[in-house]
Structure 1
């Protein structure tokens, strides 16, 4: 499975859309401050051009590329487009609705990153803290270097790390930890053939196992997408004294009203609400170790394990867009949000980017998000936009310049890169950019 870059450089009738819009207005409960009249220099959406967004998604359903989807575009604290399309699952024929549950895969990373920053503000976690302070197994990590022996055969040599992995490294993916489900380097193969996902393990066991594997690069030298956020989940557990989900539920999910977001589906009534990909567009096995969310397992993957609804993620996105507040409650300082959404791997840092570098050449990476640092060719997309996506096709982006965000929920792994680029183009055309 090859993960696609995040940039690339029917239930859609008026009555249903109106009901859906009303539903999300209730679900999202926008902060009053975001619903004020927009500043004069901000763009506004063209209702006529927004119809092209719906037309595109309806065509994706009609041509059999996706089973169904839910799309939300929200500006100034209110939905400007919210519609459900197609079905949750072509085999059951259940219609797609606003309360459909999706596997959000790597969109979990943003939630885990915010949870970590809550602890940073609490003074229980430091960005420059060595990970070994919380997980002793990381005190003696090794870096895997490919060399050739006397016969010319490639071998993997383990070398000492030049410095400790820090919490900041986990947040910005510069720890050297990688994934084993794509790429063919010797280190990635070592991950793929390890015992990382054997049995029913918890976050502590996962951290112990991965600490024994070699790093793909020296800490702090290269952006490499991998299990960093999973390890961050264990750091959160140690620093907070709670399980990852218990901490996130207490400090973030429940206060935000994200009651449908979890690592597993404990409620027997929820499985019929899960969206499924087309039968010919399903992963052949677990991705990054993530299995069926209906199976109760102890591992809470902060990097890719969450499921949730678009309404839940909308409240999370609005809080971020508001600079850390929602409904009069502050979750993070505005300075913390600004820090998280600034580029931390720019040229001045000397940090390289691996051959895959999913954010694309016009983006850097912050503490949990890709961050727009230059305008892509042939677009007028704004600087400062931050975003991420999931292997199943879900994506979100938050645009402070235009006081808006968009979330697309779908389960269509092979279509994700193409659809994301097309929708983003249509959205900004509707915004007049």
Structure 2
């Protein structure tokens, strides 16, 4: 690991670039965090709401969407460290809904055209997102299975909406009624695996997923503002959430500040995208991961578990069809992407992290002891990284001296 320093002049350039999004009205407000070694620089700009005057704050609580996934994987690996799970164990003991799976003969098969699964689903299959079921990256109506996912409110075909998702046991029952899309271990598929990980953690630990996260991750890391909902006393720190209407060319409210879906505890605690957090809280998680599982004097994860999470866990065959997510430069570890080659300057091999569809991005670079966290409240328009992500990572990487 090489320790560089942050160049203040180039961080000022990063501020100018990011603030341009605010001044143009593209994004109401932004919080950025850039850290190198023990040096941490946080920048705050803009407002909490499109039509409001309240300024964005360092401790703003953002809906972090899919950067929840690395946390779900870390929780699972804590149970592996505890000896309560093993990577190649079948999950059927805890998730009987996933026993005796049927698999679509082809993706375009009707739901009753299936074959038996070749084997049981394992903990590893869930961690590396190859258990056989996930988001379908195709136009609505392309495949039969898409409508069944939508009818069951199982998520993965659009942004998270906690109020529409059934409770945990009902969610699992509905999932268990559907065939898998691919054989266990055959193909990487996005999103659903991490939701199942949350259920697995809850059932193995015999407590709620959120309760386990609080005890084993959030409290040890000092992540006091991270959870599946925002307490009433902190709702003034929750910004509006917006999508972009391409016809009107305006931002439209998707989730409000005062009557937010995240002001209430959800029926289903989503490991794929349900958490709220702050830039500083999420940095604490990233720093623990970069410190190989250690926070201060406390070990949260074993070094072996962090190493497993942050290295490529897929074969080229498993990545087939996922080029939209990985391009030619990255792959997937446990719950997060891992950079394999330097397609862009900031894509340093070994870099790990992920992006969130509600406008969040967080990656760690072990080679430079570097962490970046970007928090916005504008939803992504497509699976391709938006310009604000690209500009943030380009500018943050340029701020590294050495």
Task: Give the shorter-chain TM-score range.
Answer: 0.7 to 0.9
Aligned to 2:226: 261
Alpha carbons 1:223, 1:357 under 8 Å: kept: no
| Displaced runs of 4 or more, over 4 A | 180-183, 197-200, 282-285
How far 1:43 sits from its partner (Å)? 3.7
Aligned to 1:35: none
Q: 1:199 to 1:98 in 2, by over 3 A?
A: closer
Distance 1:381 1:356 in 2: 16
Matched, 1:374 2:347: no
Aligned to 2:375: 409
Matched, 1:122 2:82: yes
Aligned to 1:206: 171
Aligned to 2:17: 56
1:218 pairs, out of 160, 183, 208, with 183
Pairs within 5 Å for 1:34-433: 41-79=2-40, 81-146=41-106, 155-156=110-111, 157-179=113-135, 183=139, 184-194=142-152, 196=154, 201-265=166-230, 267-278=231-242, 280-282=250-252, 292-347=261-316, 350-355=317-322, 357-376=324-343, 379=345, 381-414=347-380, 417-431=386-400
Q: 1:392 to 1:356 in 2, by over 3 A?
A: farther
Distance 2:367 2:164 in 1: 46
1:358 alignment partner, SS class? helix
Distance 1:360 1:131 in 2: 31
How far 1:217 sits from its partner (Å)? 1.4
Q: Which moved more, 1:68-77 or 1:351-360?
A: 351-360
1:132 alignment partner, SS class? coil
2:262 alignment partner, SS class? coil
Distance 1:370 1:213 in 2: 27
How far 1:226 sits from its partner (Å)? 2.4
Distance 2:180 2:192 in 1: 11
Q: 1:186 to 1:361 in 2, by over 3 A?
A: farther
Distance 1:203 1:400 in 2: 36
Gaps of 5+ in 1: 1-38, 149-153, 286-290
2:31 alignment partner, SS class? strand
How far 1:352 sits from its partner (Å)? 3.4
Q: For the aligned residues, what is the CA RMSD?
A: 2.4
How far 1:268 sits from its partner (Å)? 1.4
1:398 alignment partner, SS class? strand
Deviation sequence 1:309-330 (CA, Å, 0-9, x none): 1111111111111110111111
Q: Which moved more, 1:205-214 or 1:167-176?
A: 205-214
2:326 alignment partner, SS class? coil
Q: Which moved more, 1:203-212 or 1:192-201?
A: 192-201
1:69 alignment partner, SS class? strand
How far 1:392 sits from its partner (Å)? 0.5
Deviation sequence 1:39-71 (CA, Å, 0-9, x none): 7x5443322112111001110000010000100
Deviation sequence 1:332-386 (CA, Å, 0-9, x none): 1112111110101033xx423334541332011101110011111x536321000
Alpha carbons 2:94, 2:200 under 8 Å: kept: yes
Q: Which moved more, 1:295-304 or 1:55-64?
A: 295-304
For normalisation by structure 1, the TM-score amounts to 0.82
Alpha carbons 1:275, 1:410 under 8 Å: kept: no
1:248 alignment partner, SS class? helix
Distance 1:256 1:395 in 2: 19
Distance 1:188 1:240 in 2: 32
Alpha carbons 2:188, 2:322 under 8 Å: kept: no
Aligned length: 380
